[in-house]
Structure 1
Amino acid sequence: MLKLFGSLRPSAALFRTTAAAAQPSAHLATGPQQEQRTFYEFRTYSIRPDQNLAFLKLTNEKIHLRTAHSQLIGCWTVEYGGLNKFFHIWQYDSYSQRAAVRAAVAQDPSWISEYISKALPLLTAQDNEVSYLVPWSRLKSPPQQGGVFELVTFQMRPGGPAVWGGAFQAAMSAHDAPGYGKLLGAFHSEFGLLNRVHALWWFESADHRAECRHRAHTDGRVVAAVRNSVAHLDSQRNQLMLPCPFSPMK
């Protein structure tokens, strides 16, 4: 007998193809892959209010003992947004390098006797965080020396860059491209509070920063980009910082 419907019988391969297409696609990554191994350790020291000058003087005299072991990007005192704070950024090529540096520093007699033993009594707290540059950002130098720096810290809602990365980049670019400040680097946290992003900005002065902020608030592109970004934002902290005389970045 002629099999009239034989040509309409689906094959096993077709069943497998159809079933695979019906399955939801799983995206395991939460954003662009981190390509660079280089990371940055953000360290914040809280200084006893009556010991600010003593701590800065000691650090100015002895920081060379520490920079002999690894690269210091910059160090600042917080002028607005936090009192008696000393903020500094260190660069490492890998976690093994950082571990080796820490081991060497712990065995450096000059560093221990001339700095650590004298500095620790001047402090009330220490905090650190590991951050990477976001994939679209590169660490830049200020266009000139003598300005002020602003560290803006955004605590984003959980979900990672796949959720808020595009909106955050658009908000940063809307400020940076027209010149409402100079973006020196954008970082996302790896150790510390997650979904935290830092933007390091440079301005000619505190008054220049105020002027740029005022002009940005009248720019429709900036307003729109910020509105899209804040939908993913839980909190924000701004700190205006002054570079220390011994800071590489200043």
Structure 2
Amino acid sequence: MLALRSRLTRALTARRLAPQVCSSFATGPRQTDGTFYEFRTYYLKPSKMNEFLENFKKNVHLRTAHSELIGYWSVEFGGRMNTVFHIWKYDNFAHRAAVRKALAKDKVWQEQFLIPNLALIDKQESEIAYLVPWCKIEKPPKNGIYELVTFQMKPGGPALWGDAFKRVIHTHINQGYSKLIGVFHAEYGALNRVHVLWWNECADTRAAGRHLAHEDPRVVAAARESVEYLDTQQNVLLIPTSFSPLK
């Protein structure tokens, strides 16, 4: 009995002294703040892009009367052609449900936008994401182009790769090679996915900044630390529409 009690005491002591996995990336505002962002992607039928955008431009006020539009872009490079990508902000899931319910009753929106555009859409996707706790949505200094970089990280969540990922993003920010707009952690969609939205004055300034970053030992060191947790990465160049709040 004494031997058994001694073994149990040692096991409990070892458990208390064992290091605990924790990360500021995985706690805090993302869990307590209900605000989230819906990423919507519409794949339009060939030759229908202009018709769709003209219709949305004319009727965008009918949709933004219900919830906040963060940005609206067309895909230029890195994804399927004839694609539009947009981000909507919601206070919480109850807010989104109320918006969808109101839209279902909005006859003007349905008749002027929804019904005419349904025939133009080939496929659509939706993803829910939160801003990471150490980031807020920034405004660009002027009109430009955007790059959405999607990182599919290894399973394990932010407690595993969050700190290394944060360091590589801040290294890019500190050197001024591109302006950060926002970092989003997917909640519904593919898990362990992070979206980073960057702004550049034009595609050429983005290319020049990327070349400099590749030669910067500070960026290279941070990237090497983070890349061991990375499965895949996709870069998409986005052009803001005339009615996009982010231009």
- Fold similarity call, TM over 0.5: yes
Name the residue aligned to 1:23: 15
Q: What code does the residue aligned with 2:27 have?
A: P
Give the drift of 1:19: 4.7
2:189 equivalent to 1:192: yes
> Which residue identity lines up with residue 15 of structure 2 in the other structure?
Q
Structure 1 residue 49, shift from structure 2 partner: 1.4
Identity of aligned residues (%): 50
1:112 is aligned with what amino acid?
Q
Instruction: Work out the CA distance in 2 between the residues paired with 1:32 and 1:177.
Output: 24
Q: Deviations over 1:127-173 (max 9, x none)?
A: 000000111111111122x2000000000010000111011111111
TM-score, normalised to structure 2, is 0.91
Larger Rg: 1
Deviation at 1:27, TM superposition (A): 5.2
Equivalent residue, structure 1, for 2:73: 76
Letter in 2 for 1:32: T
Corresponding position of 2:51: 54
| Greater shift in the superposed pair: 27-36 or 172-181 | 27-36
Q: How many Å separate the matches in 1 of 2:85 and 2:164?
A: 28
What is the alpha-carbon distance in structure 2 between the residues aligned to residue 114 and residue 36 of structure 1? 35
2:225 is the counterpart of 1:228: yes
SS in 1 for 2:150: strand
Q: Deviations over 1:40-68 (max 9, x none)?
A: 00000001111011001000001110100
After superposition, the CA RMSD in angstroms is 2.0
Spell out, residue by residue over 1:95-124, the C-alpha distance to the aligned partner (whole angstroms, 9 max, x if none). 000000000001100011110000110010
**TM-score normalised to the size of structure 1?**
0.90
- What amino acid does structure 1 have at the position aligned with 2:132? V
Contact 2:21–2:159 (Cα < 8 Å) also in 1 = no
Query: Are positions 1:209 and 2:206 aligned together?
Result: yes
Q: Closer, same or farther in 2 for the Cα pair 1:177/1:47, shift >3 Å?
A: same
Given that 2:90 and 2:96 are in contact with CA atoms closer than 8 Å, whether structure 1 keeps it comes out as yes
Give the superposition deviation at 1:23: 2.1
Alignment size in residue pairs: 238
Deviation at residue 176 of structure 1 after TM alignment: 1.0
**Structure-2 separation of matches of 1:19 and 1:47:** 61
Q: Is the 8 A contact 2:168 2:223 kept in 1?
A: yes
